[in-house]
Amino acid sequence: MRRIIICLFTYSILINQTFAATQADTSKTTKYNLSSPSEFVFESYPNQDLIPIRLLGAVKNAGLYHVPANMKLTTLLSLAGGTNNEADLENIVIGNDQQAITAPNGEQKTSLNLNLEDVLKNGAKNDYTLASNDIVLIKNKSPLVSNDSFRIISIISVLLTAALTAVLIKDKVND
């Protein structure tokens, strides 16, 4: 009886640890799509001045983009293949490590949170114009249950399953 309980308990811990390790490995590289670095150059005509833009997050092709000056954010996202299904278009973060960001209303900021849903609804006049060395982060939507909560729920359910199995085996042996 004791051996069966120990085996079930050990098995449940091993399964849970394997699942948790797999989840941790995949969540680190895919959170901001950093697993496949890429560099893209979009030049409309020869000797055109290009500016570097870093596009990260929930887009099809994240990476370093060299694009013509005064390109709009929606155009860059189109060139990147669009956003993923997990993209949070209401909270896009734009920063720049070399200069202040100019918001659509003309205000100077260190970073800008942009609601792309509103930009798309209100038309092109509100679209953000990219500047040299801008960093655009398209965040993923927050899940209803975080990975840590899911792990805790998994551990508790495995422990309860092992305990209930042990009780059922004990009852069968006593009968």
Dump pLDDT digits (tens) for 3-56: 665 655 666 666 655 555 445 444 444 555 555 557 778 777 787 889 999 999
Q: For domain 39-140, which architecture applies?
A: Roll (3.10)
Q: Is the dihedral of CA 39, 86, 92, 116 positive or negative?
A: positive
pTM across the whole model: 0.63
Where do the structural domains in the chain lie, given as residue ranges? 39-140
Per-residue pLDDT of 100-124, as tens digits, reads 887 777 788 888 888 888 888 887 6
Q: What angle do CA 84, 89, 92 make, to 5 degrees?
A: 110
Cα–Cα distance, 52 to 76 (Å, whole number): 12
CA triple 128-34-133, angle to 5 deg: 35
Tens-digit pLDDT profile for residues 47-59: 788 999 999 988 9
